[in-house]
Chains A and B, each alone.
Chain A
Amino acid sequence: MTFLRRLTRWETGLLVMIGIVLAVGSATSPGLLSTYNLQTIAINNSVLACLAFGVAPVIIAADIDISVASTLALCGVFMAKLWGGGMDIWLAALLAVGLGGVLGLINGVFVVLLDLPALAVTLGTMGAYTGVAFLILKGAAIVDFPTGLLNLGSGTIAGTQIELSTVVVVGLLLVLTFVVHVSPYGRALFAVGANRQAALFSGVAVTRTRLIAFVIAGMFAALAAVFYLGNYDTAQANIASDQLLPAITAVILGGVSAYGGTGTIPGVALAVILLALLQSALGLAGVSGQAQTIAVGALLIFAIGSGAAIQALPGLGRIARRRVPDSEPTASP
């Protein structure tokens, strides 16, 4: 019931904001809702969606993973290199997803088994993974991937206007939503994120739950790499390094508390849509790419600020205030 209430609260707010952006955006620039523009938005944001979906479980478990963009780059390079060596592209993609899982596991081993701060560890592995990606390619780029992959990245389903990548991303969204919100693992995840100690004493396999969250993040980063190669048709060691902050922004904007224990995967998906539409609307209105980051930052503050304001309303206030000190000790900054 609480879950449903939260869903209606935060996600409704996101839907309202999406509505506002759509209304204002299409009023000022009619091109926003054209099929072509929507398709562009869809294919350009499948990477962001995958990254954000992957990071969400980690943040729900009150950890953080800032190495996902580097994981993406390394997996993309690895996949391209395997393909360049004559391997079938889909087998290479599968192996890359496996590698993503391993890289996530490495993060998890350091953070969970050695009990180190997640931010410091993933800051380190972020540099390390990007560096390894560079060492593999030595600064070169691999291009001209087979049509099958390009179709996945930027093609439409035959006979319709729907992007193939969007369908796959929605499929991934459903799978992850099931894992996080329906399966026993998901319940363990929220328990661990809300209060690690209490979860441990309640018999939740805390170590395993956190490890799996990191593995999920790594695998989704690798899936994002597959989409990246399909969309941009190039593999380089520095790809997508600018996607880290938008991904974490999307997760937080989607209603996942940075202290862990709350949030929903559909909320994250809505946040990705909101960010994508906002970016496109601002672009059409002539706002330069980097200046758009102001809007993204302001939106983040607005969302968190208004969320806090709603919680501070009479009646809800006591619950909200009680929650904060409870969850603080488990939050690793």
Chain B
Amino acid sequence: MSVSSSPSPRRSAVRALTRHNEIGLIGLIVLVTVVAEAAVPAFRASGNDTQILDNAALVMIVAVGEALVITARQIDLSVAATLGLAAYLVGSAVGHIGFAGPVVGVAMALALGAVLGFGNGILIERIRMPAIIATLATLSIYGGLQVVVTHGSQLYSSQLPNWLGNIISTSWIGLSPLVWAAIVCVVVVGLIARFTRWGRDIYAIGSNPEAASYLGLRTGRRTYEVFAVCGALAGLAGLLYAGQYGNVDATAGSGFELTAIAAAVIGGVSLFGGSGSPLGAALGALLLTEIENILAVLKISIFAQQTLQGTAIVVAVAGYSLLSRRLNRPVRRSLRVEAGQSRPAEPSEPVSSEPTEIAEQGT
């Protein structure tokens, strides 16, 4: 079913734009920035731009992993607890490592996160628990573990090695190492999702799990992998969290799961699976953080921010869905003629040419 052929060139241009909603998001971010620069003096204050990027970095890293999981039509609520656990455990361990600290620290954080994520994968794939329930349970368990291992104490910035403690105060070509780490994560995961077979598998599984398994894709294995990757990114974010805030306790990271999901959703990742991109999720994180920052410098209370953030999520979801439905309407009508009364898959963007590509490779 080639649904990508469209009636008029103008419409196809619009559709291309919405399909690559990253362009729209960048436009929105630029627009918000320009308006804020012009209207809010405090926004122009020196250092505010780097502060936005620093604050967005962690959300970006976690949101990128979350985007992969959501694209595979799953969800991971346990990222916040993974982040907190890694922040404390790896943060306190790296202080004792003298040689090649950064490499070992990052490897430990990634490994710990991957193991925790793999645990989610086992529950979902082996025990066949729905992802939302399994990760709800592991959110409790990993969060409880975080309380147990911290046993009421805190990790202070003085216990961190220099490379980690100075992660936002040093500057490499104008950006802090923290932001560079986020950029590397976004680029690497974005490229993998877009250009590798693994990435296409994830989209195929998210679009239609059953069809994907009939095509011979190893859906079970991909589930393990996608959760491990998401966990690893959350673990890395945890290590960086320790560096950024310099202060880790039993509540570190709580609430991060919803921020990450919100960023992914605002970035155009469909909760029905199979559409969206890691880059979009990262841009969503940036937009969310920027709006938060503007509200903060405007001295609007944190509670109004919460309202606006919630409203933004609903508006974003409604907007994407209505837009894609509107653009797909003629296609849907023509499909209905062909395929009788059957409803085309989901209101989200139909899988264009991906399944055929995969079919060719898979067989």
Indicate whether A127 sits within 8 Å of B143 (C-beta atoms), given known contacts A259-B130, A333-B75: no
B116-141 interface bits toward A, Cβ cutoff 8 Å, 1 = contact, 0 = none: 00000001000111111110111111
Q: Once the chains bind, are B250 and A290 in contact (CB under 8 Å)?
A: yes
Give the residue name and chain of the A residue nearest to B138 (CB): A297
When chains A and B are docked, how far (Å) is the Cα of A333 from the Cα of B138? 17
When chains A and B are docked, how far (Å) is the Cα of A333 from the Cα of B250? 29
B303 interface residue, CB < 8 Å from A? Answer: yes
B residues in contact with A135, CB < 8 Å = 301, 303-304, 307
When chains A and B are docked, how far (Å) is the Cα of A300 from the Cα of B127? 12
B residues in contact with A295, CB < 8 Å = 144
Within 8 A of B (CB), among A52-108: 64
A240 interface residue, CB < 8 Å from B? Answer: no
Indicate whether A301 sits within 8 Å of B310 (C-beta atoms), given known contacts A120-B317, A123-B262, A258-B133: no
B180 interface residue, CB < 8 Å from A? Answer: no
When chains A and B are docked, how far (Å) is the Cα of A297 from the Cα of B139? 8
Give the residue name and chain of the B residue nearest to A115 (CB): B347
When chains A and B are docked, how far (Å) is the Cα of A134 from the Cα of B313? 19
Q: Once the chains bind, are A117 and B271 in contact (CB under 8 Å)?
A: yes
A139 interface residue, CB < 8 Å from B? Answer: yes
When chains A and B are docked, how far (Å) is the Cα of A132 from the Cα of B145? 33
When chains A and B are docked, how far (Å) is the Cα of A127 from the Cα of B259? 10
A residues in contact with B322, CB < 8 Å = 114
B311 interface residue, CB < 8 Å from A? Answer: yes
Q: Once the chains bind, are B127 and A120 in contact (CB under 8 Å)?
A: no
Q: Once the chains bind, are B312 and A291 in contact (CB under 8 Å)?
A: no
A298 interface residue, CB < 8 Å from B? Answer: yes
Main secondary structure of the interface of A (DSSP, over half): helix
B residues in contact with A258, CB < 8 Å = 129-130, 132-133
B residues in contact with A129, CB < 8 Å = 310
B49 interface residue, CB < 8 Å from A? Answer: no
When chains A and B are docked, how far (Å) is the Cα of A249 from the Cα of B265? 24
Give the residue name and chain of the B residue nearest to A238 (CB): B303
Indicate whether A114 sits within 8 Å of B313 (C-beta atoms), given known contacts A135-B307, A328-B209: no
Given contacts A305-B129, A333-B271, list 18 more A-B pairs with CB under 8 A: A114-B322, A117-B270, A117-B272, A119-B132, A121-B317, A123-B258, A123-B313, A124-B312, A128-B311, A130-B307, A134-B307, A138-B301, A139-B303, A237-B303, A252-B136, A301-B127, A304-B134, A333-B73
A325 interface residue, CB < 8 Å from B? Answer: yes
Rounded to whole Å, the gap between the CB of B67 and the closest CB of chain A is 13
When chains A and B are docked, how far (Å) is the Cα of A294 from the Cα of B273? 30
Q: Once the chains bind, are B307 and A110 in contact (CB under 8 Å)?
A: no
Q: Once the chains bind, are A124 and B311 in contact (CB under 8 Å)?
A: yes
Within 8 A of A (CB), among B237-267: 250, 258, 261-262, 265
Indicate whether A114 sits within 8 Å of B133 (C-beta atoms), given known contacts A120-B313, A134-B301: no
Rounded to whole Å, the gap between the CB of A237 and the closest CB of chain B is 7
> Which single member of A64, A114, A139, A300 contacts B321 (CB below 8 Å)?
A114
Rounded to whole Å, the gap between the CB of A56 and the closest CB of chain B is 14
Indicate whether A300 sits within 8 Å of B133 (C-beta atoms), given known contacts A124-B317, A237-B303: yes
A308 interface residue, CB < 8 Å from B? Answer: yes
When chains A and B are docked, how far (Å) is the Cα of A114 from the Cα of B265? 16
A residues in contact with B127, CB < 8 Å = 301, 304-305, 308
B residues in contact with A237, CB < 8 Å = 303
B74 interface residue, CB < 8 Å from A? Answer: yes
> Which single member of A126, A139, A259, A291 contacts B310 (CB below 8 Å)?
A126
Q: Once the chains bind, are A333 and B306 in contact (CB under 8 Å)?
A: no
> Which single member of A114, A130, A134 contacts B318 (CB below 8 Å)?
A114
Rounded to whole Å, the gap between the CB of A76 and the closest CB of chain B is 15
User: Which of the four size classes fits the interface of chain A?
Assistant: 35 or more
B residues in contact with A294, CB < 8 Å = 140-141, 144-145, 148
B residues in contact with A28, CB < 8 Å = none
A24 interface residue, CB < 8 Å from B? Answer: no
18 example contacts (A-B, Cβ-Cβ < 8 A) are as follows A110-B314, A116-B321, A117-B271, A125-B310, A127-B309, A127-B313, A131-B303, A139-B301, A245-B139, A258-B129, A258-B132, A291-B147, A293-B140, A293-B141, A297-B139, A300-B133, A325-B210, A328-B210
When chains A and B are docked, how far (Å) is the Cα of A43 from the Cα of B268? 44
B192 interface residue, CB < 8 Å from A? Answer: no
> Which single member of A120, A126, A245, A332 contacts B136 (CB below 8 Å)?
A245
> Which single member of A121, A132, A133, A304 contacts B314 (CB below 8 Å)?
A121
The 6 closest A-B pairs by CB, nearest first: A131-B307, A127-B310, A134-B303, A297-B140, A294-B144, A128-B310
A219 interface residue, CB < 8 Å from B? Answer: no
The residue in A126, A131, A135, A291 that gathers the most chain B C-beta atoms within 10 A of its C-beta is: A131
> Which single member of B136, B258, B303, B310 contacts A300 (CB below 8 Å)?
B136
Q: Once the chains bind, are A124 and B313 in contact (CB under 8 Å)?
A: yes
B305 interface residue, CB < 8 Å from A? Answer: yes
Q: Once the chains bind, are A300 and B314 in contact (CB under 8 Å)?
A: no
A residues in contact with B311, CB < 8 Å = 124, 127-128
The residue in A248, A296, A300 that gathers the most chain B C-beta atoms within 10 A of its C-beta is: A300
B residues in contact with A134, CB < 8 Å = 301-304, 306-307
Q: Once the chains bind, are B137 and A124 in contact (CB under 8 Å)?
A: no
The residue in B74, B127, B304 that gathers the most chain A C-beta atoms within 10 A of its C-beta is: B127
B residues in contact with A304, CB < 8 Å = 127, 129, 133-134, 137
Rounded to whole Å, the gap between the CB of A18 and the closest CB of chain B is 19
Within 8 A of B (CB), among A118-163: 119-121, 123-135, 138-139
A42 interface residue, CB < 8 Å from B? Answer: no
B42 interface residue, CB < 8 Å from A? Answer: no
